[in-house]
Homo-oligomer: A and B are copies of this chain.
Amino acid sequence: MALLKAREAVMSRFRPTLHAHDLTEQQWRVLRALTTAEEFRAGELARVSSISMPSLSRILRALEKRALIQRGVEDKDLRAAQISITASGRELIALIAPHSERRYAEITTAFGEDRLATLYGLLDELAACLNDGAEAPPEDEE
């Protein structure tokens, strides 16, 4: 699958930097998502960072142990978690972000800004088109 190879090629550029700071790709996505709002509920965080709830649950446990995030519960709904990034978490991001942005810039110049934009557009449209095409893909008669 072309999508698979392209994604692998892209991620291989970012992994070394993340690995140097003992972060996985998914942990990085979660941390960065947490900088975009004061607090998140677990479900929101999973949607925003495209990570399944079971994985997110494990990731949060790991990040909490490293004190990169903190958790609370909502007053109004004792089921809901309030997840936020800590000062340490922000420091780590500040440490990594420049590297990450440099890699991204490398990719942009290597591939071309315009083509990258076109690619983004097509990918978004493909996902959108498939997702609302049919919520439950029809399993043909059998």
Contacts and interface: CB of A to CB of B under 8 A. Distances in A.
A49 to B, nearest CB: 10
A101 to B, nearest CB: 12
Contacts of A129: 110-111
Interface string A1-38: 11111111110110011000000000001000000000
Identify the interface centre among A12, A110, A125, A126: most chain B CB within 10 Å of its CB. Answer: A126
Interface of A is mostly: helix
A133 B119 contact: no
Contacts of A77: none
Interface residues of A, number: 40
Interface of A: 1-10, 12-13, 16-17, 29, 50, 99, 102-103, 106-107, 110-111, 115, 118-120, 122-127, 129-131, 133, 137, 139-140
Identify the interface centre among A8, A103, A119, A125: most chain B CB within 10 Å of its CB. Answer: A119
Contacts of A3: 3, 6-7, 10, 123
